[in-house]
């Protein structure tokens, strides 16, 4: 299961302060992932990628650096990160689930000013891939260079934007496409993936068709992330965010005494000059990090963080609705609760993945509400 990181700040930051230096940096997570249980593939060592936006004078497209070398063993990553600054950064370390080991399969992916990455997997992929590809417009079909389900999901996102009347080929304007457009397009992408999976014939459905879809997309101005699982009863893969006024190295911490660098998100006022989103926290300061709710979007617009529920057939309006950690654990992923403690549950009939009564009721209510809206 991959790990990713998003940084959006009012000011530029040296990449090494995110990627290399923190005690539990994303480079450290490539070989020491604390929220990963997959002992068959214990490392995120199947390549990495860093994407960042530069001066507007150089154009709106992000710079992408990828490599199939494990992040912990790439001297060029250290050289780049120690001399590069940006106010919007995507970073990703990969553990392959689909696609071979190649630069074209490393995240993040780019199309013009748009950048995209994924942690998880599309359920029933071998039964979905051909129909997903056939549903795309030619421009987005031929743009796919690699073989991962993640890049095909990005193509589906681009196609969804295009169908909404916001062509990724057009210049988006001074403020980008806007966070609303990005969020609607990512929701449409998830909806189309779910529809394709639902259409898999029962007689060929030989594998688990649940999807883990933690997406991150940006146009260089706004960022939209999702934490999502196509299940009523399961938790999604972990996702956290942290916001504050400064990301500072702690000079007199225990980590410093041991030769490591310890960072902390500081908040001196109500503003959020810095927002971080990560599959795993970069620090062990629990108060620094907030768990993104399962089946939600997280939007960063002008340093404001907004969280919205994803209301579909897997949504439950019941705030006490419980979900199981079992499915994510089978994918090598631990799950944490609101207090950041690891949740570990034995699988039972109630949490095995079958649709719960509350989920069925929620789905019926959702369908009734949508019918009323269409009638009006």
Active site residues: 2
Rounded distance between C-alpha atoms, residue 54 and residue 371, angstroms: 47
Whether the CB-CB separation of 30 and 3 falls below 8 Å is answered with: yes
- Which phi and psi angles does 294 have, rounded to 5°? -60, 140
Rounded distance between C-alpha atoms, residue 261 and residue 283, angstroms: 10
Closest by CA position to 73, among listed 91, 102, 93: 93
DSSP bridge pairs for 66: 49
In the numeric block, the tokens 């999702």 are attached to 226
Rounded distance between C-alpha atoms, residue 142 and residue 199, angstroms: 24
Closest by CA position to 248, among listed 288, 220, 291, 215: 288
Rounded distance between C-alpha atoms, residue 165 and residue 348, angstroms: 46
Whether the CB-CB separation of 183 and 244 falls below 8 Å is answered with: no
Cα angle 214-220-222, degrees, rounded to a multiple of 5: 60
Residue 206 CB neighbour total at 10 angstroms: 10
Task: Tell me the C-alpha to C-alpha distance, in Å, between residue 238 and each of 61, 293, 329, 333.
Answer: 29, 9, 11, 8
Sign of CA dihedral 174, 178, 182, 184: negative
């Amino acid at each position: 299961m991959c790990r990713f990181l998003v940084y959006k700040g009012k000011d530029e930051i040296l990449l090494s302060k995110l990627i290399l230096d923190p005690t539990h940096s994303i480079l450290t997570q490539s070989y020491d992932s604390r929220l990963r249980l997959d002992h068959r593939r214990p490392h995120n060592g199947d390549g990495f990628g860093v994407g960042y936006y530069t001066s507007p004078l150089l154009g709106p497209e992000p710079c992408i650096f990828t490599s199939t070398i494990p992040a912990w063993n790439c001297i060029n990553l250290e050289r780049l990160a120690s001399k590069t600054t940006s106010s919007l950064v995507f970073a990703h370390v990969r553990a392959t689930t689909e696609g071979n080991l190649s630069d074209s399969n490393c995240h993040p992916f780019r199309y013009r000013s748009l950048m995209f990455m994924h942690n998880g997997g599309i359920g029933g992929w071998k039964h979905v891939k051909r129909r997903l590809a056939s549903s795309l417009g030619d421009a987005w079909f031929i743009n796919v260079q690699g073989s991962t389900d993640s890049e095909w999901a990005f193509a589906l996102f681009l196609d969804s934007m295009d169908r909404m009347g916001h062509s990724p080929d057009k210049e988006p304007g001074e403020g980008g496409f806007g966070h609303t457009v990005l969020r609607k397009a990512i929701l449409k992408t998830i909806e189309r993936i779910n529809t394709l999976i639902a259409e898999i014939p029962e007689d060929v459905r030989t594998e688990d068709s649940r999807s883990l879809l933690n997406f991150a997309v940006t146009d260089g101005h706004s960022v939209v992330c999702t934490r999502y699982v196509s299940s009523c009863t399961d938790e999604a893969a972990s996702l956290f965010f942290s916001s504050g006024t400064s990301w500072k190295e702690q000079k007199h911490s225990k980590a410093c005494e041991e030769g490591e660098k310890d960072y902390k998100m500081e908040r001196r006022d109500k503003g959020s000059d810095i927002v971080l989103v990560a599959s795993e926290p970069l620090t062990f300061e629990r108060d620094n990090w907030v768990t993104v709710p399962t089946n939600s979007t997280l939007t960063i617009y002008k340093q404001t963080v907004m969280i919205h529920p994803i209301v579909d057939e897997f949504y439950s309006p019941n705030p006490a609705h419980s979900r199981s950690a079992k499915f994510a654990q089978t994918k090598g992923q631990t799950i944490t609760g609101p207090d950041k403690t690891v949740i570990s549950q034995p699988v039972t009939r109630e949490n095995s993945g079958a649709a719960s009564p509350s989920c069925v009721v929620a789905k019926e209510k959702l369908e009734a509400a949508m019918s009323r809206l269409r009638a009006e």
